[in-house]
Each structure stands twice: as structure tokens, then as C-alpha cells.
Structure 1
Amino acid sequence: MALIDDVKSELAAIDNELPAAKKAQAAAMIRFGGGLHLIQNHIVVEAQFDSLDAARWLQDAIKDVFGHDSDLIEVSRQTPTGAVQRYSVRVLRAGGALALQTGLLDRRKRPVRGLPADIVSGNIAQIKAAWRGAFLAHGELSDPGKASYLEIICPGQEAALALVGTARRLGVNVKARQVRSSERVTLRDPDAIERMLLLLGATQSSRQWSGKRSDGESRGKANRLANFDDANMRRSAKAAVEASEKVIKAFEILGDDIPENLRAAGQLRLDHRDASLEELGRLADPPVTKDAIAGRIRRLLQLSAKVEKQRAQQNV
């Protein structure tokens, strides 16, 4: 089971909320899962979910909180990646009454385009429940990684702005954006995602998400260190090859006229071309520091460059 399925199952199992919070969650699930439809001058309430647990929660809430019966219909839809199951909760006869009870119709019986005012201005429990309902209806959650995100697809701009405002009351900053003609609210900061999961009530899933995030960061750090070490090794090997070529040229220019300590350092470089300067220092007799061996090779190359320059001037 994917992490998003675990989160929605955990959220749908929460059953200790007060009636006002349950009402807020149900209203948000209907608003973000589908909404109101007018069929032959009759209001039908319908909401569709990708989670069977979420659909069953809404069906139970419609019965227990609002006193109406509803139908739970399984819908199979073909997509480019195969068949996808959806679960639709539909209220036919009492659709208008339910719409008024949830606040999705105002007192003048006009559809509410965002979230009902009594939810937006309600207590924190109602705010959390509304966010929980929106996430159950149309929420997405990535696996932790470079592109971590928690996102809710909204039925319109007003609904997106309602989520932005209510999230601010929870102390979480979310952004509204438009993607391919759909309105969305998105969290990308991993700490904010973890906090929001906890606020919604997905305690176990939050720990699971945080654990995967920590594992991913550790692997990423290890990979960066490995790449860093590998790059250092490549640079060191390239520098050693270039230094060896310069030493060969210096020996050819200077011939026998080389101080013994410089000759020994140059010969060590040629005999151990893959060795680091620190390793060359340990191989010297007597052993010296890497700075000392580097200094001797440098003076050897400077001496050969000086002699080569003098010869060039004499030949002019």
C-alpha cells in the first residue's frame, strides 16, 4: 500500500471528533470530492473518492450526524495506466436538506463557492477537520525526497483561498497555484508537511513519512560524500599524472646537474605515479611531510624552468 493510502486510511479511522468537527469534515469532503448537482430541479449531493475508507466515513457521517441515507457506488475508470477504482457517495432524495445542513447552500439557497463561513471562522477543531476532509477528498502526498509535497486539488479559486486562510490559522503557510486549469494548494517544505500531517491526525503516517525522509537524507548525504571523494580522487590522479610528465621533462633538461634531495623527490613521483603527496612523503628516506615533498618537487620544476629559459636566451 502506498503512503498516501496509509494516510487516508488513518484519517478516515478518526472517530472521536465533536459533532461540529464532523460536520466540518463532511462539508469539506463533499465540497472537494464533488459537490452539488441540479437534476430536474432537484439538488443531488455527490462526492467521489479514491479511498474506500474515506467514502465509508462520509456515508456514516451523513447518516449519524445529518440523519440521511446515501448510496455508496463503486466506479471503475480506465486510464492510460490501467483501471482505477473510485467510490462515489450519493444523496438523492435528501440532497437539498443535506446541502443546507452542511452549509454548502447559504440561507438564500445559493451554492457556497468556497467553504461555509461557520467553518472558516470556526474553532481550531473545525479547521483541522475541514482540512482533513479536503485531503481525504482530493489530497496528494509525495514520498519524501527532493520534490516533497503535500497538495490538495480544489474545485475552484474560492475553495483554494479558504484552505490558505484556514491553514494560516493553524500556523502553516501554504500556497495557492493554478496547474493545467486546476486550482491547488501546496506545501513543499518538509517540516511544514510533517506538521500538517500531525495536525490532521495522521500521527503514525507522519512518523513513517519522517522516517523515510531521514533515510533519504542520509542516503543523499552518503551519495554526495561518495561523489565528492570520487571527484577528489580523479583530481588527485590527474594532478599526479601532470606532475610526473613535468618531472620527466625536468630530468631531461637538468641531466646530472640536480641536487640529490630534489632528484629523490622527483624519482619518488615517477616510481609511484598514483600515490598522493602524503604517501610520497611516507615513502621518502627519511620520511617527510607532504608539504616537504611537494616543496622539493616544486623546486625541481622551478629549477628546470630556469635552466630552460637561460638556454633559450643563450641560443638567441
Structure 2
Amino acid sequence: MALLDDVKSELAVIDNELPAAKKAQAATMIRFGGGLHLVQRHIVVEAQFDSRDAAQWLQATIQEVYGHESDVIEVSRQTPTGIVVRYSVRVLRAGGALALQTGLLDRRKRPVRGLPAEIIGGNIAQIKAAWRGAFLAHGELSDPGKASYLEIVCPGSEAALALVGAARRLGINARARQVRSSERVTLRDPDAIERMLNLIGAPHSAREWTGKRSDGESRGKANRLANFDDANMRRSAKAAVEASEKVTKAFQILGKDIPDNLRAAGQLRLDHRDASLEELGRLADPPVTKDAIAGRIRRLLQLANKIEKQQAQNNRAVD
């Protein structure tokens, strides 16, 4: 969560945007953070965030851009994992006016189900600001070292599709999906996640996330290689023990009737039971390749097998 908090803090201090971009961000934060409510026939605007910085940005923007007062209220609730603190931005008296100004009510004063048309059809700065606002409102980011994802929890399917279309305008492929009755827009490609973080204004967090992810992948690869090496060593050790047992039996069957080069190879196997074939080849006099030592041991075992079969046939003939 620490990195997610850092991303939202980095995004919430951006203050050099043009008014159109600020409006796009504010409208999207309200839409994805909560939206409009009807209380005693009056429209109330309320948006809730897990970041105090995000809530304070929206409160300041509502005052600066739209000229309305708002309240930031801290809300705590107990969950199975502990106390969760959220920050709610509420506009009571001027809720209806703000809803019209942000485009969250259309000209017929009906709630907009996706995102306002002026955002979807706006310039690239507005598109970036909309994604920034959606992330501040309900964005999630995977911890480095785990399966990569950047995800926005959306208030509905229309809002999710609007966000997917906005990502497409930025050259990024996002996917809308439904998870346990909630609509989500997800990025899973690490390069796309890094690019999106940069585009919405969090380059420092993007570098940190990418760096930690690379470190995690390197550690994972090292662990996999270590496990692979351990498995190879266990298989090699088992094969060496089995080969030694077969060589011992071959010596018993053949007795003295063994070619010198085959006897030498078999004896090396018995004298160095844990050694690899490559190591046995180096120990031979003169040294030979691992293929050569493996071939001699194989011929030794084949010869013993042939003699054993002949002895069995002779014994059956005598009986």
C-alpha cells in the first residue's frame, strides 16, 4: 500500500494544469469517488477517497475553479483487517450547480452514466487528467514482485467503457471486466502500466515501481534457477548411485574377463560415486570426454547383461 499512497500523493500535488484539465480531473474524481445524491429534493455532491491529499486537491479545485464551498469529513470504519479511514468531500448547498458545471448532469438535468462528453471528446491533457482523477478516486496498483496490474474500480459499466476509450486515445490497451459485481478497468502489461503512470503525472512512482518489479523478477529468476540446479543435482546423484550398483553387479558377473578400458571406466564410477560423467572423464588416465566415459560404462553393462543371459540359457539347458 505504501507505493500506492506515494503514487496518489504525487498525483495530488500536480498544480500546473490548464482549467480544462483541472475540470476533467475534478469531474472524474467526483464520478468515480461517489457522485450525486438526492437529499430532500436537493442534489448533494459527495466523493470519498482513501487519500487525504486527493480529497484536499478536490476541495481546493471546487473552490478555485467552480467557486463553491465544500467540506472534507474523515470517516473511519472497522473492517476484518482493521480500521479503514476514508476522506469524504461534500458539497451540500451548491450541489446542483456543481453537478451542472462539471457535466455530471446533462442539459435535461439527468445524471451522466459514463463520463461527460466534453471530457471524452476533449484534448489529450483532459484525457490524461480524467485517468489521473479516476486513479485518485479508486485506483489500485500491484505490489512489486507480484503479478503486475493497475486497476480502476468503476461506478458502472458505462464509466468503465468511457475509461477504456480514454486509454485507447493515449495509445494504451485497457480491458473492462466485472469482478464480484464491480466493474473494473485493468492494465496488466508492465510496460503499459509504467507508461500510464508517466502519462498521468507520476514519473517518480513509475521509476520506483519498475525498479522494484525488476528486482523482484531477478530474485524470482535466481530462485527458479537455484531450484532447477538443486533438482538437477538430485537427479544426477540418483543416477550415479544407480550406475554404481549396476557396475558392481557387472564386475561380479564378468569377473576377470573385462577389457581394460571398460574395467577402468567402471572402477572410476565405483571410486567416485558422487562425481558427474564430466568429472569422471577428467579423472581418467588419459583424460577423456564425458561421452567417452559414458560409452565405456554403457558397453561394460551391455557386456555383463549379454553374459548374464548366456549363463541363464546354459543353466536352463542343463536342467
Task: Say whether the 8 Å CA contact 2:71–2:89 is kept in structure 1.
Answer: yes
* SS of structure 1 residue aligned to 2:172: coil
Provide the residue aligned with 1:85 in structure 2.
85
Residue type of the partner of 1:252?
Answer: Q
2-structure distance, mates of 1:245, 1:274 = 13
Residue type of the partner of 1:229?
Answer: D
* SS of structure 2 residue aligned to 1:315: helix
2-structure distance, mates of 1:182, 1:290 = 61
More moved, 29-38 vs 294-303 = 294-303
* SS of structure 2 residue aligned to 1:89: strand
More moved, 144-153 vs 180-189 = 144-153
Superposed CA deviations along residues 253-284 of structure 1, whole A, max 9, x for unmatched, are 10111112111111110111000111111222
Task: Say whether the 8 Å CA contact 2:145–2:215 is kept in structure 1.
Answer: no
2-structure distance, mates of 1:294, 1:246 = 13
Provide the residue aligned with 1:297 in structure 2.
297
Provide the residue aligned with 2:257 in structure 1.
257
Deviation at 1:13, TM superposition (A): 0.7
Deviation at 1:287, TM superposition (A): 2.1
Are 2:272 and 1:268 equivalent residues in the alignment? no
Residue type of the partner of 1:208?
Answer: E
Provide the residue aligned with 2:125 in structure 1.
125
Provide the residue aligned with 1:193 in structure 2.
193
1-structure distance, mates of 2:178, 2:214 = 31
Provide the residue aligned with 1:38 in structure 2.
38
Residue type of the partner of 2:21?
Answer: A
Superposed CA deviations along residues 116-171 of structure 1, whole A, max 9, x for unmatched, are 00100110000000010010000000113342110010011100010011111111
Provide the residue aligned with 1:170 in structure 2.
170
Residue type of the partner of 2:138?
Answer: H
Task: Say whether the 8 Å CA contact 2:20–2:126 is kept in structure 1.
Answer: yes
* SS of structure 1 residue aligned to 2:88: strand
- How many residues are matched? 316
Deviation at 1:313, TM superposition (A): 1.9
Deviation at 1:72, TM superposition (A): 0.7
Superposed CA deviations along residues 45-96 of structure 1, whole A, max 9, x for unmatched, are 0000000000000000000000000001111111111111110000000000
Provide the residue aligned with 1:283 in structure 2.
283
Provide the residue aligned with 1:18 in structure 2.
18
2-structure distance, mates of 1:289, 1:107 = 85
Provide the residue aligned with 1:53 in structure 2.
53
1:63-142 correspondence runs (5 A)? 63-142=63-142
* SS of structure 1 residue aligned to 2:27: helix
Provide the residue aligned with 1:308 in structure 2.
308
Provide the residue aligned with 1:148 in structure 2.
148
Superposed CA deviations along residues 216-274 of structure 1, whole A, max 9, x for unmatched, are 11111111211121111111111101111110110111011111211111111011100
| Aligned residues with identical type, % of pairs | 87
Task: Say whether the 8 Å CA contact 2:152–2:185 is kept in structure 1.
Answer: yes
1-structure distance, mates of 2:135, 2:291 = 62
1-structure distance, mates of 2:29, 2:161 = 16
Residue type of the partner of 2:200?
Answer: L
* SS of structure 1 residue aligned to 2:171: coil
1-structure distance, mates of 2:199, 2:265 = 67
Residue type of the partner of 1:302?
Answer: Q
Provide the residue aligned with 1:239 in structure 2.
239
* SS of structure 1 residue aligned to 2:85: strand
Structure 2 unaligned residues grouped into runs of 5+: none
Provide the residue aligned with 1:213 in structure 2.
213
Provide the residue aligned with 1:9 in structure 2.
9
2-structure distance, mates of 1:288, 1:187 = 56
* RMSD, aligned CA: 0.9
Residue type of the partner of 1:174?
Answer: A
1-structure distance, mates of 2:90, 2:146 = 39
Task: Say whether the 8 Å CA contact 2:142–2:148 is kept in structure 1.
Answer: yes
Distance of aligned partners of 1:193 and 1:181 in 2 relative to their CA distance in 1, 3 Å threshold: same
Deviation at 1:41, TM superposition (A): 0.4
2-structure distance, mates of 1:21, 1:287 = 76
1-structure distance, mates of 2:167, 2:224 = 35
Task: Say whether the 8 Å CA contact 2:51–2:87 is kept in structure 1.
Answer: yes
* SS of structure 2 residue aligned to 1:44: strand
1-structure distance, mates of 2:73, 2:39 = 18
